[in-house]
Amino acid sequence: MNVPVWLIVPAAGQGRRMSADRPKQYLPLAGETILACTLARLHAALPEAKLVLCLDDDDAWFAPGQVPFTRWQRVAGGAERMDSVLNALRAMPANEHDVVLVHDVARPCVTPQDVRALASAAANNADGALLAMPVADTMKRATSDGSCARTEPREGLWHALTPQGFPYGRLRRALEKAQASGARVTDEASAVEALGGRPRLVSGRRDNLKVTHPDDLALATAILAAQDDRL
């Protein structure tokens, strides 16, 4: 890749659904923390990338020793994930066409192969790209009392994963506009789509789990152990 590549890692969440004694990115996983595992995967994929790490101002758990990148900076998190990412975009000295990949700290099982595939797709698409996974189950629409209202067609439906990657200028304008309009987008692709963009779907691995609920820790542990045999 001959354009500079940046990595933004939003890690300023509180992990409320995890209900732990600390933000979930600092919970132990495979002998490290979740944050260290995630950064290690990204570093294995793109060791020369510049990292921008979004951390809560009151974060008492972070230790710089968990960052394997040579070039990195810390920025303050915002109220929502999109605000954290926007803080990073505003703080980093990037150029219009630099490639920016955004990856949740809460996805420690991403493989270096998937990160590199996504980086390559992002570098070759003006509207960017995201890792995603086709929906494999029958989809139900629920009634308000928890019964089935109907079965929704699954054709063309994908789960959005991270990383998601875009040219710097395109992503920044999209998120600035979303924030100014009060829209609460849960991923970067949504903001680009709102401006008429069509980010490319890059088929990613099913085991790129977002650690969200307590049960996910055991799953992530098993996934990392299984992957270690094959990476």
Ligand X SMILES: C[C@](O)(CO)[C@H](O)COP(=O)(O)O
Ligand Y SMILES: Nc1ccn([C@@H]2O[C@H](COP(=O)(O)OP(=O)(O)OP(=O)(O)O)[C@@H](O)[C@H]2O)c(=O)n1
Binding mask 189-228 for ligand Y (x = CB under 6 A): ---------------------x-x----------------
Q: How far apart are CA 81 and CA 189, in angstroms?
A: 13
Q: What contacts 230, CB < 8 A, 6 or more positions away?
A: none
Q: Is 114 in the site for ligand X (CB under 6 A)?
A: no
SS3 55: strand
11 counts as binding ligand Y under rule CB under 6 A: yes
Nearer Cβ to ligand Y (123/164): 164
**H helix or E strand, kind and range, residue 10:** strand 5-10
CA–CA separation, 134 and 158 (whole Å)? 4
Output the smallest distance, CB 126 to ligand Y, in A.
Answer: 25
Out of 83, 104, 114, 127, the residue judged to bind ligand X by CB under 6 A = 104
Instruction: Choose between 161 and 174: whose C-beta lies nearer to ligand X.
Output: 161
Rounded Cα distance between 52 and 48, Å, is 13
Question: Quick one: which segment of 40-48, 77-85, 87-95, 175-183 binds ligand Y (CB under 6 A)?
Answer: 77-85
Phi and psi angles of residue 74, each rounded to the nearest 5 degrees, phi first: -105, 135
Using left for φ > 0, alpha for ψ between -120 and 50, and beta otherwise, residue 164 falls in beta
Contact between 120 and ligand Y per CB under 6 A? no
Query: What minimum distance in Å lies between the beta carbon of 104 and ligand X?
Result: 5
Which residues contribute to the site for ligand Y (CB under 6 A)? 10-17, 24-25, 54, 77-81, 84, 104-106, 210, 212
